[in-house]
Amino acid sequence: MKKLLLLLFYYLCLDWLLSLMRKKMDLKL
**pLDDT in the model for residue 1:** 75
Every domain of the chain and the residues it spans: 1-28
Prediction pTM value: 0.62
How confident is the model over 1-29, as pLDDT tens digits? Answer: 799 999 999 999 999 999 999 998 888 76
DSSP per residue, 1-29: -HHHHHHHHHHHHHHHHHHHHHHHHHHH-
**pLDDT in the model for residue 23:** 92
Distances (CA, A) of 5 to 9, 10, 23: 6, 8, 27
